[in-house]
Structure 1
Amino acid sequence: MGISGPMMRLPVGRLNSIAPSVSALPSALVRATQHRLLFHRRQNVQRAIPGEINSANYVPPSLRRLTTASGVANECNVYKQERDRQRSLTDPEGFWMEAQKAVDWIQRPTRALETPDQCKPYRVLWFPDGKLNVCYNALDRHVKNGRAHQVALIHDSPVTQSIRKFTYEELLFKVKQTATMLRRNCVNKGDRVLLYMGAVPEAIIAMLACARLGAIHSVVFGGFASNELAKRIEDCHPKVIISSSCGIEGLGKAIAYKPLLDGALKLCKNLPNKVIVLQREQLVARLSPGEESWADAVDSIPENQLFHGYETVDSNHPLYILYTSGTTGLPKGVVRPSGGHAVVLLYTMERMYACKPGQVYWAASDLGWILGHSYICYGPLLNGSTTVLYEGKPVGTPDPSSFYRVMAEHKVTTFFTAPTALMILRREDPHSKYRKQYDLSNVKAMFLAGERCLPEIQRWWVRHITGVDDTGKALHSIVTPVKNVISDNWWQTETGSPLVGIEVGLSENGSELPPVKYGSAGMPVQGVDLRVLRIKDEFDEDTVVDAHPEEVAPGEIGNIVIKLPLPPGIMTTLWNDDGRFFDAYFRRFPGFYDTGDTGMVDSDGYVHILSRADDIINVAAHRISTSAIEEVVIEHNEIAEACVVARPHSIKGSVPVVIAVCKHHRLKHTLDQIKSDLVSSIRERVGPFTSPHTDNVVFVDRLPKTRSGKVLRKMIRSMIAVLMKGPRNSLQKCPIAAPATIEEEAVKDEIWDRLYEWEKSVDTSQ
């Protein structure tokens, strides 16, 4: 069974008597799973269908704090995080009606949730009769309640060698100016505004201005090339586009955004009414007729011409559209509801992330990703905290001390970054030369997300920051008073806030918080009924629905799902594609949200997220659609067929590998030229952050396919994963079983032989 199942009389073991680290999964998990299955058979416990399980009564052994010699668990010695979660599952109405009181509603809701159509249990409306304005909650109410002169936003930009600060009062004024500009360009409630700006304060100002008017913003990461940007413009039909003239990637290195926008607009049928350009002095853009600079359109508006009002919107009115990569090559526009998102962000800011009003929160991310939306822009400002917007990198801007300087200089309470950044810092500052220059005593908690943090990387970060050496240990106990907690957590663009983590802000007494377990994302949080469903051998890429899902035993790897109903704040649909919304997330496992991730829950109740189940490549916390890359590759005039899969990378997590079939047999020097062409095209058309490299282009005679013509990407991914683990001498024969649907089994061996030879020569650092 998964983490939530029927109440069982399991032994209450000590937390440090745990299954081996996930880094040693293969043999250890087999033994652990066999042992637990034998235990279940001896106890005559039947495996139930998940939908029939009464999850509210089950408390995993490790969530019960040992307070008696006998180890008997009761209500008093369960960690508060789990008590809160159980209450949110058994009484969601009462739990969330209490949580919504933190929001200033224009019309306060009288009920927490409703399901308008019982045949569609995935469609839940949270706080359905509530009305509010999210911008008012993020700015106006703080100005009225004594925070007018508190710093709301710090823009720390080592690449421009500048720091800008905005108080809540100053930020509200700038937002009113921008909202006035948008009204002058006929932007009304429900209209879309697309932002293509990078890590600049004006991007946050524009996001809040849209929320003020009830308009729906869509922020696009500045690294996307013209064709990817065009897809998003065509999908959301923005009335106004706001762009920066450039982005700044390093000291003296400007990347022109305006030509990319111009290229995208040439590909679009649906053009905006207006384009506004924030001119940055590092690279001023040439404006076309009818386009305006931010300075002329926004900054020049005097106070006596400002629009001071704000629109009232329903709780489930879309706050924004955020595009995430889709396996079809078409981006998925995740739609975020206003009211539920505000409630959950406020709930998590103090409880999960231990940041109180007036304290400083820094998420080292880009505004184009979900972390930037939730915990650079909205979460900290809704909470009355100070948010840091950082325009720089972990190293090179100017050196590996950048992160430590920002934490120390701005007295950061909570810090959030990706494990990739830690890998880079470990390489560049192995002996803590730069770390030792700064006092980080003000930092209470540090969180990691974006991809799974390997245990050894997390242990290094703990040692690097705190001086505590946990070499060989599986657990890290939280000290009293709580400080410098370093915890992973797990969530998605679709969810908008954490599903799993350690709620560090629930207590100042470290013994009342679950220890951090290395390699784990933590434990499920409020409203999350997390299950792990068995991966069935008979299922292949043609399978659509698992009508009879089965939960796995603790320690067994499976598909991570969330039992319906989902908590508030999670996406309500995909923009312009409700059918795809159901198909992508709810069709395969009826009654559950399919996260698309695989992992396991160990015997102590900790969740381990291990990999994606689909064809999304996660490169340094950037999720990339394989189809988007394939689309570029296949346009080369010498490529007949191609597929793109991920291969493991020690720093970036994953990088793409292009498996291609040429139209004609070619000499080596010609193939080398094709490889260079493909890499250049991918960098130009999709973006350099995809990390394309000629070493990761492999030519084959034909691709393995199903009888229905689908390329067996999963089989190729599995081959590469096995080869990367080695040892090579024992792998001359392919250990991957041929899927039942393969068209020609001989192709499997052909692909294996080619990949075997490729792996011998590939530079794994690329």
Structure 2
Amino acid sequence: MTPEHVASPGGYAATRERSLSDREGFWLEAAEQVAWSTAPAQALEERAADDWSWFSGGELNVCANALDRHVEAGRGDQAAIIYDSAVTDSVRRLTYRQLRDRVARFAGVLRDQGVVAGDRVLVYCPMVPEAAVAMLACARIGAIHSVVFGGFAANELAVRIGDARPKVIVTSSGGIEPNRVVEYLPLVRRALEICDDAASGVQAVIVHNRAQVPGSAADYSGSTESIAWIDWLTAESEATPADPVPLAADHPLYILYTSGTTGSPKGIVRDSGGYTVALTWAMRHIFDVGPGETIFTASDVGWVVGHSFIVYGPLLAGATTVIYEGKPVGTPDPGAFWRVIDDYEAKVLFTAPTALRAIRREDPELSQLRTHDTSSLRALFVAGERMDPETWHWARDGLQVPVIDNWWQTETGWPICANPLGIEQLEMKPGSTAVPMPGFDVRILDGAGNDVTEPGVEGNIALKLPLPPGALLEVWGSRQRFIDSYLTAFPGYYATGDAGFFDDDGYLTVLGRTDDVINVAGHRLSTGSLEEVLTQHHAVAECAVIGVADPLKGQRAAGFITLKHGSLDAHEHVAADLVRLVREQIGPVASFRDVTIVERLPKTRSGKILRKTMRQIVDGESYTVPATIEDPAVIDALIAALSTTFSAPTTSVLTLPR
């Protein structure tokens, strides 16, 4: 541990209290860990109750902070990125110097296409180092990048092109799945056709070719008069490197569209200065990761976790980040994550609970773990879905490290609640997301917006304004939409859309989205609490509980279950056991009698279970299959499985093209 990587004095309680009582001093001090072209004279500028900014007057470059300063500090030969592709059986390492040089050259490529500060660049790539290179190159010259998850449907890609209006699209010939390849270039071409006039601002498509996937820029060159199709490597070899451009602290760094968006997309805008300060602080104080240490974040750069803790956070900290192209199971086995930890001596693993449940389903005894040396691992962080206590205990007992359930959102950019390992390791409570992080003033509000923050009182989780550095700046294209979406429901607060409660020790339990709290005959029940009960059964691998319409009670709870592989329990026995468990631990008020056993649950690519879509199917409502769904075929299998539990649903279905 280097001298600059030391826990804050006074412990968690004192640190958080100061962050709320002395915002100015706290965040100006945190800003000293960042390299500024022009240092800010103040931390917070509040212009109105719903209008504030961080580090006004300050100027910096995020890319220079992530790369150049580490090279200048003598760490140029340290690994910045380790690219591990389980689907191509290949590994590449880029040192900080190599990454800086590649980024500078690709920034020159963008500049040669007329990209300047404020222009948008859409990045549509698989999990390859070039995705990070493109992001950082945009940051280097002040372009605003918008990363779209690789393989997204053409119409969804078109919607994002139409909203962000990029000057350049950066893409790849395609992505590689365990059993197939996904060609991106036909999807990009189709998206541009759908956009029509909206695509008129796109001047170039830059293509990174992959040997395993057909298609190249040359195949599409000349297909349109106004858009140039350019080969990445050729352009990079001919470009002059670009120097980092100093930018105002509130200059937008990126636009990230929230997962599951349909219709008019909601582009979350992140600023440069606040985000840099917040992530620099979080890497040190929450994740306890510093220069030379390795973090393995098993996510995708298309999601906020990938932005914050695959690309920007680790590089700002001077750490080594692993870009992993593969799955938790099937590439080739449920020991994939343990192999990566072993190979690169990762100190921290950050993944989604759904990935752990997939591993647990395939290898409940963790036999694959015993074939790898994971002694370098100091903590497992999980976010993205509710972490059920059974999986929490399974992971903690198997890995013998703290399991940190941290809760946050695309909008906040970094954890609202966690266990701050870099300050002090607090007690761990399975089922809880631990405590609010410094900077976040978390409150529980009733439906009328009254503050009812008391131990055990359930309500709407809200964040008292102003939000800390790193949170969203606005919604792209509409300041009013930002206010209407997040700040209007409870004036003076940011509405998270989640429900929960604090315990006597100040630990927050997130019950789920407010629409996941169901009303059964006048009794409010958390579907998350019901799921905790179901996962206690030895045969259950994963579950989802939804509230379905009931003519007598208004709603009743229904459970959807996947079983661990190798489970010999008969389905009817498992269902009877689960109904009994809920009756014993929740009570008959839950009116729980519907159990459907399925092979897989419908999920987004980021691991979120599509509970709303499931409820709409069961209730016979019209529904849309989100573009973010991992496998649309799971919906068909779900409808077939429902015939054994419910009467066959009558639905009007809109399936988005792929």
Q: Does the TM-score normalized on the shorter chain lie above 0.5?
A: yes
Q: How does 1:584-733 map to 2 (within 5 A)?
A: 584-613=485-514, 654-655=609-610, 656-657=613-614, 659=616, 682=625, 687-689=629-631, 692-697=634-639
The aligned residue for residue 422 of structure 2 is 505
Corresponding letter in the other structure for 1:253: R
Corresponding letter in the other structure for 1:371: V
Q: How does 1:164-563 map to 2 (within 5 A)?
A: 164-250=92-178, 253-268=180-195, 269-271=197-199, 272-285=202-215, 286-289=219-222, 290-298=228-236, 300-301=237-238, 306-325=240-259, 329-466=263-400, 484-507=401-424, 513-534=425-446, 536=447, 546=448, 548-563=449-464
2:34–2:65 contact (8 Å) kept in structure 1: yes
Equivalent residue in structure 1 for 2:477, among 560, 571, 576: 576
Structure 2 Cα separation of the partners of residues 449 and 257 of structure 1: 29
The aligned residue for residue 552 of structure 2 is none
Structure 1 Cα separation of the partners of residues 101 and 262 of structure 2: 42
Residue 455 (structure 1) shift: 0.6
Structure 2 Cα separation of the partners of residues 583 and 499 of structure 1: 21
Residue 694 (structure 1) shift: 2.4
Residue 758 (structure 1) shift: 5.2
Structure 2 Cα separation of the partners of residues 690 and 528 of structure 1: 37
Structure 2 Cα separation of the partners of residues 758 and 518 of structure 1: 38
Structure 1 Cα separation of the partners of residues 94 and 637 of structure 2: 47
Q: Specify whether residues 694 and 647 from structure 1 end up closer, same or farther in structure 2 by C-alpha distance, changes over 3 A only.
A: farther
Structure 2 Cα separation of the partners of residues 137 and 363 of structure 1: 20
Corresponding letter in the other structure for 1:310: P
Structure 2 Cα separation of the partners of residues 369 and 646 of structure 1: 30
Residue 754 (structure 1) shift: 13
Structure 1 Cα separation of the partners of residues 194 and 220 of structure 2: 18
Q: Specify whether residues 691 and 417 from structure 1 end up closer, same or farther in structure 2 by C-alpha distance, changes over 3 A only.
A: farther
Corresponding letter in the other structure for 1:88: S
Structure 2 Cα separation of the partners of residues 647 and 181 of structure 1: 52
The aligned residue for residue 594 of structure 2 is none
Structure 2 Cα separation of the partners of residues 603 and 96 of structure 1: 29
2:83–2:93 contact (8 Å) kept in structure 1: yes
Q: Specify whether residues 326 and 450 from structure 1 end up closer, same or farther in structure 2 by C-alpha distance, changes over 3 A only.
A: closer
Q: Specify whether residues 459 and 561 from structure 1 end up closer, same or farther in structure 2 by C-alpha distance, changes over 3 A only.
A: same
Structure 2 Cα separation of the partners of residues 243 and 447 of structure 1: 30
Are 2:28 and 1:97 equivalent residues in the alignment? yes
2:106–2:241 contact (8 Å) kept in structure 1: no
Residue 580 (structure 1) shift: 1.2
Structure 1 Cα separation of the partners of residues 559 and 280 of structure 2: 38
Structure 2 Cα separation of the partners of residues 82 and 661 of structure 1: 46
Structure 2 Cα separation of the partners of residues 280 and 391 of structure 1: 14
Structure 1 Cα separation of the partners of residues 477 and 107 of structure 2: 26
What is the DSSP-based 3-state SS (H/G/I as helix, E as strand, rest coil) of the residue aligned with 2:176? strand
Residue 288 (structure 1) shift: 3.4
Corresponding letter in the other structure for 1:91: D
Structure 1 Cα separation of the partners of residues 327 and 618 of structure 2: 38
Corresponding letter in the other structure for 1:694: D
Corresponding letter in the other structure for 2:492: G
Q: Specify whether residues 372 and 328 from structure 1 end up closer, same or farther in structure 2 by C-alpha distance, changes over 3 A only.
A: closer
Residue 397 (structure 1) shift: 0.6
What is the DSSP-based 3-state SS (H/G/I as helix, E as strand, rest coil) of the residue aligned with 2:347? strand
Q: Specify whether residues 755 and 579 from structure 1 end up closer, same or farther in structure 2 by C-alpha distance, changes over 3 A only.
A: farther
Residue 277 (structure 1) shift: 1.0
User: What do the CA deviations read for 1:717-762 (whole angstroms, capped 9, x no partner)?
Assistant: xxxxxxx9xxxxxxxxxxxxxxxxxxxxxxxxxxxx9995459xxx
Structure 2 Cα separation of the partners of residues 151 and 646 of structure 1: 49
Corresponding letter in the other structure for 1:115: E
2:259–2:628 contact (8 Å) kept in structure 1: no
Residue 614 (structure 1) shift: 5.3
Corresponding letter in the other structure for 1:281: A
Q: Specify whether residues 348 and 107 from structure 1 end up closer, same or farther in structure 2 by C-alpha distance, changes over 3 A only.
A: same
List gaps (5 residues or longer) in structure 2: 1-8, 223-227, 518-526, 529-556, 563-600, 650-658
Structure 1 Cα separation of the partners of residues 335 and 618 of structure 2: 46
Corresponding letter in the other structure for 2:417: V
The aligned residue for residue 745 of structure 1 is none
What is the DSSP-based 3-state SS (H/G/I as helix, E as strand, rest coil) of the residue aligned with 1:657? helix
1:324–1:332 contact (8 Å) kept in structure 2: yes
Structure 2 Cα separation of the partners of residues 307 and 174 of structure 1: 8
User: What do the CA deviations read for 1:174-229 (whole angstroms, capped 9, x no partner)?
Assistant: 00110010010000000000000010100000000000000000000113201111
Structure 2 Cα separation of the partners of residues 296 and 346 of structure 1: 35
Equivalent residue in structure 2 for 1:145, among 46, 70, 73: 73
Structure 2 Cα separation of the partners of residues 352 and 520 of structure 1: 16
Structure 2 Cα separation of the partners of residues 187 and 654 of structure 1: 38
Q: Specify whether residues 647 and 276 from structure 1 end up closer, same or farther in structure 2 by C-alpha distance, changes over 3 A only.
A: farther
2:11–2:423 contact (8 Å) kept in structure 1: yes
Residue 347 (structure 1) shift: 0.4
Q: Specify whether residues 165 and 660 from structure 1 end up closer, same or farther in structure 2 by C-alpha distance, changes over 3 A only.
A: closer
Structure 1 Cα separation of the partners of residues 346 and 450 of structure 2: 45
2:288–2:421 contact (8 Å) kept in structure 1: yes
| Largest Rg, 1 or 2 | 1
Residue 519 (structure 1) shift: 0.6
Q: Which moved more, 1:253-262 or 1:552-561?
A: 552-561
2:141–2:242 contact (8 Å) kept in structure 1: no
Residue 439 (structure 1) shift: 1.2
Greater RCO (CA < 8 Å, at least 6 residues apart): 1
Structure 1 Cα separation of the partners of residues 356 and 10 of structure 2: 30
Structure 1 Cα separation of the partners of residues 455 and 65 of structure 2: 42
Structure 1 Cα separation of the partners of residues 325 and 134 of structure 2: 17
RMSD, aligned α-carbons: 2.9
Q: Specify whether residues 649 and 234 from structure 1 end up closer, same or farther in structure 2 by C-alpha distance, changes over 3 A only.
A: farther
What is the DSSP-based 3-state SS (H/G/I as helix, E as strand, rest coil) of the residue aligned with 1:463? helix
Percent sequence identity over matched residues? 45
- TM-score, normalized by length of structure 1? 0.68
Residue 689 (structure 1) shift: 4.0
